[in-house]
A = this chain, B = another copy of it.
Amino acid sequence: MSGAAPGVDLSRFESSLGFLLRLSQQKIFARFFATLGPLDLTPGAFTILLALRDNPGLRQGVLANALMIKRANMAKIVRALVDRGLVSRHVPEDDRRAIELNLTPEGAAFVAAREGAFFAHDDESSPELTDNERETLLGLLRKLAGTQGETP
């Protein structure tokens, strides 16, 4: 159980989805940071940039819901991205409460320069699994996360 724990009985957790998800996510993210540290952004922030690349003008709250990021936290991350000149804000005429987000030219360049490494690393992030197993896992996670079947 948890490869590095000889002699520790964690068998009770082997059927716990919550536990296994946490462990798996931790493992994948640790690999991310070990390899892509120089990305200069957390995976979450980079995901936001990617989402804006594909969805220009998206409202902040809509993006937060889509990525399951809380509004308070999204405000902070967006603030940081704006301060870095990667994202720009615009208040739409039809809703003075809202904020629409776009990548700046610098933001677009930032994403273009790093996207390849980001996804290449993700593709190689599960050497424990065969390609077939990985695809199966992705499919099940999509279903669990509610991402399956929706199209833009």
Contact = CB atoms under 8 A, between A and B. Distances in A.
Interface of A: 1-29, 32, 43-44, 47, 50-51, 54-55, 58, 62-63, 65-68, 119, 122-123, 125-126, 128-129, 133-134, 136-138, 140-147, 150-152
A140 B129 contact: yes
Contacts of A152: 7-9, 11
A67 B18 CA distance: 13
Contacts of A136: 136, 140
A48 B12 CA distance: 12
20 contacts: A2-B65, A3-B146, A3-B150, A4-B146, A6-B150, A9-B54, A10-B66, A13-B47, A16-B122, A17-B28, A17-B125, A17-B126, A17-B141, A23-B141, A23-B147, A24-B144, A26-B68, A27-B146, A128-B143, A128-B146
A27 B145 contact: yes
A152 B14 CA distance: 12
Among A6, A50, A128, A144: residue with most chain B CB under 10 A: A144
Contact of A63 (B8, B14, B125, B141): B8
